[in-house]
Chains A and B, each alone.
Chain A
């Protein structure tokens, strides 16, 4: 297996969390 499954699960979780952080920053700075 190229990437271990726990690494792939971490990637998906981290991207989703970073998406929420990006959304909050965009909201804070009023980007639209």
Chain B
């Protein structure tokens, strides 16, 4: 018994250290190092590249779908792999009792820790979703998982710096002023809307039982590989399909309009349209910066620019579908199940 407990503790320590190392090295390679050089580029050229969508959107077609999906996945695939690795690692390697203590409370404390974890992650909404799903399955509160999900794209310090150099520091200040209430307001509402979470008694017995249940496989790294494969099989196919559909629908999300000639009534209609379209559409990290830059040059006013500035990065249809996908245990993936 004592030998088993010692082996168990060694596995937990080793798993936590390995996951921490993967997260730090992965984020350095995929995020911190490239974004440092991108910030220098933005400072000198006041641009971070061509917009991935928005300007001259192609008419709905298979070519538009494939073209957008190719450009999008080329931009995010490394972060997506990292998100899946961390999301599965959280479920397979970290002690659930510890996660439940740190992120399991339905209140400001857990949300703050989750938002603080999101700041260095700097992921787009789709790449952050597997991690948020992993946290949620390991008994993080709905509010904490929501704060992590929204905090990644909205509190991304690199994007805020890019905005300052490309769009002006007023936009950076606006991002901070809107992102903080959005992240914490959404976390608060999520905890209120998922009432069961606050009532879960997180005793050592409960977390111990959950841990044993999760540890059907003794070797933590085999367990990690199994959870990773299961997440890839469950999440990636629908992710591909929704990105293809959104790529084909670009022309509807970003209609071709001479923005400068839009009247007041049509301007309100356009504002509502952009709010819905921007919320559903998917872009890579910081993709909103060149999109807003290009559309304002094309005549889009501050109202439309501000709407896209918040709605494009915060959430997207693929991330919503992935976050609502049924749990793998006892349920095969199917659309009927999702909508039930």
- A binding-site residues for B, Cβ under 8 Å: 1-8, 10-12, 14-27, 29-32
Contacts and interface: CB of A to CB of B under 8 A. Distances in A.
Interface of B: 132-133, 136-137, 142, 145-146, 149-150, 167-168, 170-171, 174, 177-178, 181-182, 185-186, 189-190, 193-194, 271-272, 274-276, 278-280, 296, 301-311, 314-315, 320, 323-327
B302 A23 contact: yes
Nearest to A18: B182
Which secondary structure characterizes the binding site on chain A?
helix
A19 B307 contact: yes
B303 A24 contact: yes
Contacts of A2: 132-133, 136-137, 145, 323-325, 327
Contacts of B181: 18
Given A12-B279, A31-B302, A18 B146 contact: no
A25 B175 CA distance: 11
A30 B171 CA distance: 11
Contacts of B137: 2
Nearest to B197: A4
Contact of A26 (B145, B305, B323, B324): B305
B327 A23 contact: no
Contact of B194 (A7, A18, A19, A27): A7
Which secondary structure characterizes the binding site on chain B?
helix
Contact of B146 (A6, A7, A26): A7
Contacts of A21: 178
A5 B190 contact: no
Nearest to A4: B194
A25 B310 CA distance: 12
A15 to B, nearest CB: 4
Contact of A31 (B150, B174, B190, B272): B174
A18 B174 contact: no
Contact of A10 (B145, B189, B272): B189
A5 B145 CA distance: 14
A31 B171 contact: yes
Nearest to B308: A19
Nearest to B337: A1
Given A3-B145, A4-B194, A26-B302, A15 B311 contact: yes
Contacts of A16: 275-276, 278-279, 311
A3 to B, nearest CB: 4
Given A21-B178, A32-B305, A8 B276 contact: no
Contacts of A17: 275
Contacts of B190: 3, 7, 10-11
16 contacts: A2-B133, A2-B145, A8-B324, A11-B146, A14-B185, A15-B315, A18-B178, A18-B314, A19-B278, A23-B275, A25-B177, A30-B302, A31-B171, A31-B174, A32-B301, A32-B302
